[in-house]
Structure formats: C-alpha cells, structure tokens
Amino acid sequence: MSEFAFQSASELATRIQNKEVGCLELLEYYLSRVERFNADLNAIIVLDAERARTRAREADEALARGEIWGPLHGVPMTIKESYNVEGTPTTNGRPDMKDNVAPQDALSVERLKAAGVVLFGKTNVPLNLADFQSYNEVYGTTNNPWNTRRIPGGSSGGSAAALAAGLTGFDSGSDIGGSIRNPAHFCGVYGHKPTYGLLPPRGHALPGTVAASDLSVIGPMARSAGDLEVGVRVMGGPDALEARGLKFDLPEPTQRGLGDFKVAIWQNQPNFPVSRETESRVEAVAKTIADAGGKVDFEARPAFDAVVAHGDYQTLLWATMGSRNTPEDYAAMVREVDQLAPEDLSDGAQTLRKQVARHRDYLIANNDRTHTRWAWHAFFEDYDAVIAPIMATPAFEHDHRRFGERTIDVDGDARSYWEQIFWAGLAIHSYLPSTVFPTGPGEEGLPIGLQIIGPQFGDLTTIALAGFLEEAGYAFQAPPGFDAD
C-alpha cells in the first residue's frame, strides 16, 4: 500500500471506487502512518479513530451496494482544529477553551461528510489562530516535516504538515492573514484562499459566534491542484440564510493550457522585500508560462498604491483580530493604547491602535478598501491572474519570543515579523481568490510556494492555472524521511 501515502484525494477516491483498496483498509494505513511519524511533527493533535473506523466500514458497505456518496467517498481526512466537529474539542489553541467540545459539525464538515470523507482527526493551530507558527499551551508545537527545527506555518500549520508528511488524504484550513497559504508554501503543498463568502464559515468558530468575520475565509488544502477544485465545489455555495436568492455558479475557466493565459508578474515590492531566491522562483514560473506561449507582464499593476492599501488592510485586520480577544484582554489593550505617547509611531504602537480602532476608522478603511477592489476589478479586465510571492523566505526556525522581538532574515536583512502579511493581504484585503502551489525545494532544501491571485469569483481559474503549472513540473514533492513503505 506504500503508493497511497502521497497520492491526491481524487486519486485515492478513484482507487477506492475501482475496488483497489477498501475504505477501512486505507484509513488503517493512514492511522499507521500517524502512529509512525506524528510524534516528531505534532501535526495531528486530536484523533477520532473509532468513529472513523465505523464510518469507513459504512463506506465500504455502501460501495458494495453500488452507492457512491460523493467525489471523496472513503477518503481519510483531517481538518484544522478550529472547525467544529461534533464530539471533539475546538479550542483555537486557547487554554481557557480546552474543555470546549463541539455539539455539532460545522456546515463545511457536514458538506465534506456528504461528499464521502472519513474524518479521523484535527490538526494543530497557534493561539487564537494568530501566528505564522503553530504552537499553543493546549497541544504544543508543530514542526515542519522538511526540517523539524523549522516552522510549518500558521495558522493552518498542522494541516499543511500532515499533508506534506503523507498522514492524511485531504484537509481544510482558514485564512485571514495568509493562514492557508503560508503553511502551504512552507510545507510544499497546495492551498486555496477562496473569494470571500464563497465557502460559508458557519461552525468555524468558538461558542456564541455566528457572524462571519470580515476578511476571514475557510478553504481546502491538498497535495494537488485538482483536489482544491473538489474542495471548493464541495464546501462552496450559499448558507441557508442566503440560499433562497443565491446559487453557486462559478465561471468555468476558458483557458486550455498555459499558453492561453495573460499573467502579471509581481515578483518583489519596495518596503516588503522577498529573498532573491523567492524572486527567482517567480521569474522561473513566468518563463515557463511564456515558453508555453502565454503572455507575461512584469510591469503591470492595478491602479492603487500598494503601501497605502496595505495600511488599510492592517486597520481592517487588526481590528477584526482584536475583536476576538476576551473582554479582559481587550480592556488591557485599550488601557495600553491610552498610555501611548502621540509621537510613538512604532510598528507595535500602530498595531495596538488598530486593534482597538474606532468604528469610524474601520468604516473609512473599508471605503478605501472598496476603491482598491474596483481597481483590481478594472485590472482583471486585461489580465487573467497575478503570480506573486506569498512569504519573503522559506520556513524559518521556531521563534516563541514576544511578537515585537521577532524578525525575519531576508538575505541578511532583519525585517519586521508582521511585515510578512503584505503578500497575503493583496488578495485578502480585496476579497480575491488566491491559490498557492509548490515550486520545489530551494537552496536549503526547504519548499518555496507562490500564489496565483485572480478576480473575484475567479477561483476555478486560479486553481486551473495551478493545475497547468503542476503538469509543467511545479508539483508536490514528498519531504525526505517520510518514505511510503
């Protein structure tokens, strides 16, 4: 069964339907890999093996009757800890929530189960889903399978690590500051941040939260571009509140290969530099598209000031994140802001002010954001997609110091830790879809991923471009040491 470890979810589903492997048999195979490899990674932090075995037996029995539940029939799957799965804890890495057991499944979990998955565990996250790393006091630290001294990304770091190590067939994360895409990049897998609102997030929440947060989305993570499309189609579509008048009807891609795309290349940015190695990967992908007959443009940019737009995004982001704090922690932040000197314009002070922004400040930033959205809309009248970095460097070493003490080394230059959200924010800020795909390991043997940004509701097009690049060689590679025997 060694060939199953790193196959895509769609390939696994096909093997099941062809009776090449049983659902229970495949589940036991992945559980054995979890037992063998997870201790060094700490990627999967909640196991629900017995219920999964019952579900897998039922899937086998259904298949024997000629029933196929959906496109993921029998595929073993894990999911980010922040999704509610009935009978399992949802803590968001918070010690005060360690006894919170979900009373019912999230809507997306219901839809995934209806598509046939066998859900057998949950994957690790950072505290409050708010870090590029994935560690917390409830479950500990998750390591990158390419180098356990390095981070797997966050906040969907456990999901990316489990996929890369071949411990699961499919997963789903969430993204407000790159939390699907930076782990995909750091671990060498695929991740899709969908158009805002396309995949309803109901049930991806702690108790009492029913309103969808601004910026935040849920989305699939996988070992192939095709699996991302399956995940979007399965989890997408309006929730019951909107279903009377809305329907799920994404435009299908018109391109039939790399040569049909017109792509803008955003390889680097003053004030938010990426490493020369990362920039060279963007250039290599651009050459691949151009060599296939596609059109690439290194100068084209949407008509807005990227630095100003990033400031708007930060206001929206930090205000949204600040609302997730406990009343006590939020009150402490307000007191700290009141004590700041007006002339203190440091990054830390500015972030703190935005975490407790007034409603007026938020509305002004939202209006400015809407100008930016219209600029993107006009830009995508002429271009199919933008290819850009998602982070400045490959995975860095674990760093559990206070946020203000952390930096990221970019070609010898110590850059601000939170500066890294610039690249993720390009898509998040304007509600756009963004697909991360792997380009292979770099000089230190660590994966480098890039993002494809597309027009609003152009999700299938960005995923399709990732698929064509996959065929051209930019595909998942298994990390060394996780052999499939």
Instruction: Give the CA distances from residue 246 to residues 113, 194, 197, in Å, rounded to whole numbers and listed in that order.
Output: 23, 17, 12
- Are the CB atoms for 423 and 177 separated by under 8 Å? no
The answer to whether the CB of 447 falls within 8 A of the CB of 438 is yes
Active site (catalytic) residues: 80, 155, 179
Q: Of the candidates 52, 207, 48, 198, which has an alpha carbon nearest to the alpha carbon of residue 123?
A: 48
**Which residue in this structure is represented by tokens 């399992």?**
88
Q: In whole angstroms, what is the distance from residue 231 CA to residue 406 CA?
A: 35
Cα–Cα distance measured from residue 260 to residue 455, given in angstroms and rounded to the nearest whole number: 16
Structure tokens at 354: 């935005």
Looking from the CA of 44 toward its CB, the CA atoms found within 13 Å total 29
CB 29, CB 4: distance < 8 Å = yes
Dist CA 73 CA 60 (whole Å): 9
| Residue of 87, 83, 92 whose CA lies nearest to 137 | 92
- Alpha helices per DSSP H over 165-252: 181-187, 225-235
Contacts of 112 (CB under 8 A, 6+ apart): 72, 77, 79, 119, 172, 234, 235
Give the residue among 49, 129, 134 at the shortest CA–CA distance from 82. 129
